[in-house]
Amino acid sequence: MTPSETVLSALAAQAIELPSWAFGNSGTRFKVFGQPGTARTPYEKVADAATVHRYTGLAPRVSLHVPWDRVDDYAALSAHAADEGVAIGAVNSNLFQDDDYRLGSLTHPDPLVRRKAIAHHAECVEVMRATGSTDLKLWLPDGTNYAGQDDIRARQDRLAESLSEIYALLDPHMRLLLEYKFFEPYFYATDVPDWGTSLLHCLALGDRAHVVLDTGHHAPNTNIEFIVVQLLRAGRLGAFDFNSRNYADDDLIVGAADPFQLFRIMNEIVGNGALTGAGVNFMLDQCHNIEPKIQGQIRSVLNVQEATARALLVDRAALRRAQTAGDVLGAHQVLVDAYATDVRPLLAEFREARGLAADPFAAYRASGHDQHLAATRVGGEQASWGA
Amino acid sequence: MTPSETVLSALAAQAIELPSWAFGNSGTRFKVFGQPGTARTPYEKVADAATVHRYTGLAPRVSLHVPWDRVDDYAALSAHAADEGVAIGAVNSNLFQDDDYRLGSLTHPDPLVRRKAIAHHAECVEVMRATGSTDLKLWLPDGTNYAGQDDIRARQDRLAESLSEIYALLDPHMRLLLEYKFFEPYFYATDVPDWGTSLLHCLALGDRAHVVLDTGHHAPNTNIEFIVVQLLRAGRLGAFDFNSRNYADDDLIVGAADPFQLFRIMNEIVGNGALTGAGVNFMLDQCHNIEPKIQGQIRSVLNVQEATARALLVDRAALRRAQTAGDVLGAHQVLVDAYATDVRPLLAEFREARGLAADPFAAYRASGHDQHLAATRVGGEQASWGA
Amino acid sequence: MTPSETVLSALAAQAIELPSWAFGNSGTRFKVFGQPGTARTPYEKVADAATVHRYTGLAPRVSLHVPWDRVDDYAALSAHAADEGVAIGAVNSNLFQDDDYRLGSLTHPDPLVRRKAIAHHAECVEVMRATGSTDLKLWLPDGTNYAGQDDIRARQDRLAESLSEIYALLDPHMRLLLEYKFFEPYFYATDVPDWGTSLLHCLALGDRAHVVLDTGHHAPNTNIEFIVVQLLRAGRLGAFDFNSRNYADDDLIVGAADPFQLFRIMNEIVGNGALTGAGVNFMLDQCHNIEPKIQGQIRSVLNVQEATARALLVDRAALRRAQTAGDVLGAHQVLVDAYATDVRPLLAEFREARGLAADPFAAYRASGHDQHLAATRVGGEQASWGA
Amino acid sequence: MTPSETVLSALAAQAIELPSWAFGNSGTRFKVFGQPGTARTPYEKVADAATVHRYTGLAPRVSLHVPWDRVDDYAALSAHAADEGVAIGAVNSNLFQDDDYRLGSLTHPDPLVRRKAIAHHAECVEVMRATGSTDLKLWLPDGTNYAGQDDIRARQDRLAESLSEIYALLDPHMRLLLEYKFFEPYFYATDVPDWGTSLLHCLALGDRAHVVLDTGHHAPNTNIEFIVVQLLRAGRLGAFDFNSRNYADDDLIVGAADPFQLFRIMNEIVGNGALTGAGVNFMLDQCHNIEPKIQGQIRSVLNVQEATARALLVDRAALRRAQTAGDVLGAHQVLVDAYATDVRPLLAEFREARGLAADPFAAYRASGHDQHLAATRVGGEQASWGA
């Protein structure tokens, strides 16, 4: 393949998984602003995800969330997805919405609460079997608000035990993906606050436990691409939750806050051969509190695609030469040259060759689909982040 | 007065204002955990605030929030407060819960939305007149999520205009208190993100506009006591919103995360003669997501009292001598010595002399009042942060 | 003018001032790595600055630092600069290198030390007169390391007094530029830590006192373009010190860490009409600890130029339309579209039309000038950040 | 033993190791302020460390730094230490001061530079053998300043290889202690930036490789006691480098910035049985840029002792009861009650019983020893952080 063919072939293989909850209402603790046309059921959420894929060709899967996406017949949901042209991806468990989880779920001092939280994953595994999903994704919101509130060490021990029970529920082809988060919804000590903690638990569990890196879940100033490399080196980068942030876990559109960071992340993915075939599930996890949701998801996957295209354009031979020569600015400039490239023409051509609009974002906005949904999705209750 | 009499007299004059919303439900964007016995009406919230005052002697006022504390008859609410032994303090407006405020309130591009947001303050001023409140407190949640979403400069200009209209609504004895916040509920550019912005608007408004310093509303690593000094020096420190934080605007119990910081803040207050008579309204603004609410408020005012007692014990003559001599560690040690003092015996004696329990927190916990409320406040809907 | 002519005309007017100290050795507290060919005298530093200008056409002035750039005959230095094609810009005072300043300079408890620090500025003003400089730039490193070490309020009062004496030294056409910095070289309370403090002092001084915004001098997560707007709105943005950072005051090449941030800053400059004629002095303040210094400065001014070009390409009418319509993603996309533009071809053409190399960075690297300097600047002592 | 005897016995067993470099000059990149009486040789540094021990009874060991503490006869230095009443502790290597290390040491692209850096540790091991030291402490300053400057993954691989060669140099009773640091002296990607990275390398090396936790080496807002627990749980907490910080790696006196944090750390140490016998070496690593150095070290070890005493006073049975009962505020209060205790009387008694001054800090300041050193240590060159 010519270099350009390599780029196009890599782009053609790229897949980004969408979260069903991006299509329901979401907001801050202060306010959830409803939007007309917002999906009301798991079926409508899947349909919206499929719309994103139809316009972009980038989003062939949609993650479910239990209980938010509970339906009577998961096979029917799965078939609906297939009809729409997408597949069910990871199944996400929920450990933060039950009243029993006020002081923790898998780490709770009370074994009955832990048992309940573990049992919830049995349901998730059933959903996985019914939908063909292979990734059980687990974000542990557990933590404490005050020093002394609970024993940090004991909580780790309980967590290890709970996780091993959940791991045992998996079928042999299934993976457990464990997400870490610096803080929130608790504000003193988070039980899985960093990649080190998540990785230690994954190593203890076994080969099919992998770490989820959510780009919004780090301390200020953290170098995220370094963590990407560490997890790839350890063979345990299971998935990304893409989004972007300026302050905390802001859940903004990926690439909107710091596009150079997204480029650097994708550069490590490409440079370490992990764009495809390395077991990394590239997922979005975002809110669209004030912007239209389908537009927001389209913009997001396009941002990841643009960053990827730039990363694919890095002249790796020149980069290595400059690095080996200790040419600090020369090596940096090789990266920057790729980043400065306007990849929109290349991508427009690539898309049109695949029967897509040259600018899917503009095309969707011009399509009237948002207006159509607002006019037709009348009555019922809009799906929400919390329901 | 002996030094000890000075301390006791200062403690006797100390007053901390409680927020009515601390007694309703609150939570994170992920979950609001209800608690039995939580207040259901403004009347019950005022009663709970009065309970805190009854146990501590520290909390003679309660702030209202409009519309959360809307009642038909504010004079009746005021009389109820007086019956319970407390008074109505500041009135807080709400600029974040109306659907129209999705893109801003006082800064909104649409003049009709700005007009609505301004008009809301006319209602607040009516509540102030009816309740005898003199402080209109205004937290501006406005901001944007994405670069380019709106014009930063134009928003400042609109804000200045809106504020001047609100300021004109005030009676001559009333003050406008303008709070700043680093971020949230928007995550790119906040319209009043720092003390400098708030102060500039206050200076433009007039003598009765003052800055509110919320201890949880700063960038990481910010030296808050420095800002206290700056605002005192400018004569514009109108109020504190006390709480504590480890990460973002965590709204934990004041003094729980960093008691030395609270001490340093109170040390500047005491050292600059601002504990009483300087126009500083010491208020709490906290959530109690997982802990009992009345207990949480009692613990909070006691923490402020303990920090104040320590600050009052600083040997200011020795401090000045060491500072003048350039004795770095000697001067630091004068502060640390006061901080290391166990003020609990002094405060126990002080409280008992005033007819209070030596340990109000323990006394309240032993009183059975939480259980009584849980048993009697049955039915109805618990008041919530958002309602 | 056509839109394109407007862009080119704005670019032609752009000027960035270089710091003389960028051409001497610099480093961290751990190590200063020397580089062959580094300038040894103020004359050589000016020559290096002129080299940057020769290649880029962007850097017609060089800032001096007293005492680092002390010479016997400033008129001769000025003439040397003119011969090389550049002019002397701002004069920077130094308040951190004298042993007397261990506990402060303009804020020191001892009036004799303050007097000495004030007097140092009289020398700076003499240098300004001799070189035709109009900007006296003052970074106050003063601060304390321990709570209690000195009185925060008293230090502000002393600072105000010292500054007013310095301001009085200025000729009527001269400006005082006051820089703020979040922390370092002291680590508890910095005496001018934020834009609010700097602005308050400038307002107290008079019309010719302006704030310096160093892009590396903020708390984590601070929105710098917001501050740019605030200072422009107050008419007090005197200068930038450009550099970039990932952690603290890293002093990396401007635009290297977050090019989108640099673009957003320049977008506010352009959008608020402050690129030229608004009294904003665009200066670099950077270290080049491990990279070649002249190359580092060339890369830096080119980065500012590229960010400016992108900002000039923003479709402001479309931006305003989308903002007014409340089209969150549409407005954001207008900015992003300009940012995504590859401005290198435009700038190459622009440069060639002005007789410059299309790629000044590559041209300089290919010129052998670094090697020439290394071969000819033999003996003597390399100028250092600290000397 | 009675509870009180347990406390006293634990205090009697406590040992804190002092860094030799705390007794030489130190400063920031802006200025090193010399102090009269500062040690000029390794012998004088050891003598100063012994003075700290003589006054406090807490500091029986002193860490060496190679090459800063190079002497001709290490046995003589060791004997000198013994004469003074202290022993040689850890030996620290230096990977940041050689010109060859501009782009890295153990991670450098050039194998010759790596070889040199590895060989330096052979010298350190010789010093260990000669002085009886068992801990080789290694802080890796390596990192990059610009994205693309070097390959992050390749640097990890080279580091792993270099460390394994160093590990192989150790005698069977020796340990390798690997420190991590968030950033500085490089500002884009640090090669060992967090506990996760350090731990992964230690796990790969073998049982005698342990992590060093420097309390100043974390991202803003990081919960350090959580990391303490994680490393204890993994059996790999080899040592502390104690100091305190408000912003970056400020290297202030431990406990000066946030005494409650120091208490929480010591509380986890005590609660997890790691105060003695668990292989944790409690060391200081601080600068005293503006305060007297021996006083600074005395204050530091006393701060650690006071925090430890408070941690020993925690009512662990009550704590566990409250935690098990889910009593959030009750459990927190158990900690806070211990923290609020004024341990100075207890410690004064404890010290006097051991023949020490009740207040070693005051006693030292009154002793005239600083003045004596200033008068007698005349001529020669003061030892410096960098020499």
Distance from CA of residue C285 to its chain's centroid?
4
Identity of the residue in C31, C245, C385 whose CB atom sits nearest the CB atom of D185 = C31
What pLDDT does B384 receive? 80
Bridge partners of C91? C64, C136
Identity of the residue in C33, C145, C247 whose CB atom sits nearest the CB atom of D248 = C247
CA A306 to CA C280: how far, in whole Å? Answer: 35
> The CATH number of the domain where C237 resides is what?
3.20.20.150
In sequence order, what are the residues at sequence separation of 6 or more whose Cβ sits closer than 8 angstroms to the Cβ of residue B95? B101, B105, B106, B117, B120, B138, B139, B140, B141, B142
> What's the rounded mean pLDDT across residues D24-36?
93
Residues of B in contact with A295 (CB under 8 A): none
Min Cα distance A165 → chain C (Å) is: 40
The residue of chain B with its CA nearest to that of D344 is B340
Min Cα distance B265 → chain C (Å) is: 11
> What's the rounded mean pLDDT across residues C37-43?
97
Identity of the residue in A27, A145, A291 whose CB atom sits nearest the CB atom of B252 = A145
CA A383 to CA B3: how far, in whole Å? Answer: 63
The reply to whether A386 falls in a domain is no
Kindly report the length of chain D: 387
Phi/psi of residue C176, nearest 5 degrees = -105, 125
Q: Which chains touch C (3 or more CB pairs under 8 A)?
A: A, B, D
Percent of chain D clearing pLDDT 90 (strictly above): 96
| Cβ atoms of residues B68 and B20 within 8 Å | yes
Kindly report the length of chain B: 387
Q: C330 by DSSP, 3-state: which?
A: helix
Cis, peptide link before residue D259, omega less than 30° from 0: no
pLDDT confidence band for C4 (50 / 70 / 90): confident
Identity of the residue in D220, D260, D332 whose CB atom sits nearest the CB atom of B221 = D220
Identity of the residue in C109, C200, C221 whose CB atom sits nearest the CB atom of B219 = C221
The reply to whether C250 falls in a domain is yes
Total CB pairs under 8 A between chain A and B? 103
Using CB atoms within 10 Å of the CB of residue C285, give its burial: 0 to 12 exposed, 13 to 18 middle, 19+ buried. Answer: buried
* D219 token code pair: 């991202």
Identity of the residue in D184, D220, D289 whose CB atom sits nearest the CB atom of C220 = D220
* D255 token code pair: 């406990």
What pLDDT does C384 receive? 80
| Cβ atoms of residues A144 and A181 within 8 Å | no
What pLDDT does C386 receive? 58
Question: What is the DSSP annotation of D208-273?
Answer: TEEEEEETT-S-TT--HHHHHHHHHHTT-EEEEEE-B-SSSS--BPTTSS-HHHHHHHHHHHHHTT
Residue B95: name the closest of B117, B63, B123, B115 by CA. Answer: B117
Residue type, A71: V
| Cβ atoms of residues B142 and B155 within 8 Å | yes
D237 is in which domain, residue-wise?
3-376
Contacts 24+ apart (CB under 8 A), B7-10: B7/B309, B7/B312, B7/B313, B7/B346, B8/B350, B10/B270, B10/B275, B10/B276, B10/B308, B10/B312
CA A234 to CA A211: how far, in whole Å? Answer: 10
Residues B163-222 pLDDT 10s = 999 999 999 999 999 999 999 999 999 999 999 999 999 999 999 999 999 999 999 999
> What's the rounded mean pLDDT across residues C349-366?
98
| Cβ atoms of residues D7 and D309 within 8 Å | yes
CA B49 to CA B59: how far, in whole Å? Answer: 8
The reply to whether B382 falls in a domain is no
Residues of D engaging B, defined by a Cβ cutoff of 8 Å? 220-221, 223, 246-247, 256, 258-261, 290-292, 295-296, 299, 306, 328-330, 332-333, 339-342, 344, 361, 365
Residues B293-323 pLDDT 10s = 999 999 999 999 999 999 999 999 999 999 9
Q: Is the pLDDT of residue B82 over 80?
A: yes
What pLDDT does A386 receive? 58
Q: Is the pLDDT of residue B387 over 50?
A: no
Percent of chain C clearing pLDDT 90 (strictly above): 96
Residue A262: name the closest of A284, A276, A242 by CA. Answer: A242
Q: Given an 8 Å threshold on Cβ–Cβ distance, is B247 in contact with A184?
A: yes
Residues D275-285 pLDDT 10s = 999 999 999 99
Q: Which residues of chain A have pLDDT under 70?
A: 1, 386-387
Q: Is the pLDDT of residue C387 over 60?
A: no
Residues C238-271 pLDDT 10s = 999 999 999 999 999 999 999 999 999 999 999 9
Min Cα distance B339 → chain D (Å) is: 9
pTM score above 0.95: yes
The reply to whether A381 falls in a domain is no
In sequence order, what are the residues at sequence separation of 6 or more whose Cβ sits closer than 8 angstroms to the Cβ of residue B81? B46, B50, B62, B87, B88
Residues D215-233 pLDDT 10s = 999 999 999 999 999 999 9
Residue D31: name the closest of C98, C30, C31, C142 by CA. Answer: C98
Residues of A in contact with D237 (CB under 8 A): none
The residue of chain B with its CA nearest to that of A35 is B99
Residue B23: name the closest of B73, B76, B59, B75 by CA. Answer: B59
CB count in 10 Å sphere of residue B49: 30
Q: Which H or E element spans position C177?
A: strand C175-179
Q: Which residue has the tokens 């790696």?
A: D249
Residue type, B336: V
Q: Given an 8 Å threshold on Cβ–Cβ distance, is C153 in contact with B232?
A: yes
CA angle, corner A298, sides to C310 and A17, nearest 5? 125
The reply to whether D383 falls in a domain is no
What pLDDT does D387 receive? 46
What pLDDT does D287 receive? 87
Chain D interface disruption, residue of C221, C243, C247, most D CBs within 10 A: C247
Q: Is the pLDDT of residue C210 over 60?
A: yes
Min Cα distance D101 → chain A (Å) is: 11
* ipTM, 2 dp: 0.97
CA A195 to CA A211: how far, in whole Å? Answer: 7
Using CB atoms within 10 Å of the CB of residue C376, give its burial: 0 to 12 exposed, 13 to 18 middle, 19+ buried. Answer: exposed
Residues of A in contact with D267 (CB under 8 A): 147
Number of domain units in chain C:
1
Q: Given an 8 Å threshold on Cβ–Cβ distance, is A99 in contact with B33?
A: yes
Residue A197: name the closest of A143, A142, A156 by CA. Answer: A156
Residues of B in contact with C319 (CB under 8 A): 148
Chain A interface disruption, residue of C247, C329, C335, C370, most A CBs within 10 A: C329
* D112 token code pair: 């010759």
Q: What is the 3-state secondary structure (H, E, C) of B25-66?
A: ECECCCCECCCCCCCCCHHHHHHHHHHHHHHHCCCCEEEEEC
Q: Is the pLDDT of residue D385 over 80?
A: no
Residues of A engaging C, defined by a Cβ cutoff of 8 Å? 220-221, 223, 246-247, 256, 258-261, 290-292, 295-296, 299, 306, 328-330, 332-333, 339-342, 344, 361, 365
CA A357 to CA A353: how far, in whole Å? Answer: 9
Q: Given an 8 Å threshold on Cβ–Cβ distance, is D148 in contact with A319?
A: yes
Which DSSP letter does residue D32 get? B
CA B185 to CA B196: how far, in whole Å? Answer: 20
Residues of B in contact with D291 (CB under 8 A): 328-329
| Cβ atoms of residues A265 and D235 within 8 Å | no
The reply to whether C381 falls in a domain is no
Residues of C in contact with B328 (CB under 8 A): 103, 145-146, 149
Residue type, B30: F
The reply to whether C197 falls in a domain is yes
Contacts 24+ apart (CB under 8 A), A365-370: A365/A295, A365/C330, A369/A51, A369/A294, A370/A37, A370/A292, A370/A294, A370/A295
Q: Alpha helix (H) ranges present in C175-327?
A: 195-205, 224-233, 259-271, 293-312, 316-324
What pLDDT does D386 receive? 58
In sequence order, what are the residues at sequence separation of 6 or more whose Cβ sits closer than 8 angstroms to the Cβ of residue D8? D350
Which DSSP letter does residue C252 get? B
The region, left, alpha or beta by phi > 0 then psi within -120 to 50, assigned to residue A164 is alpha
CA B318 to CA B330: how far, in whole Å? Answer: 9
Identity of the residue in D197, D229, D328 whose CB atom sits nearest the CB atom of A149 = D328
The reply to whether A265 falls in a domain is yes
Min Cα distance D255 → chain B (Å) is: 10
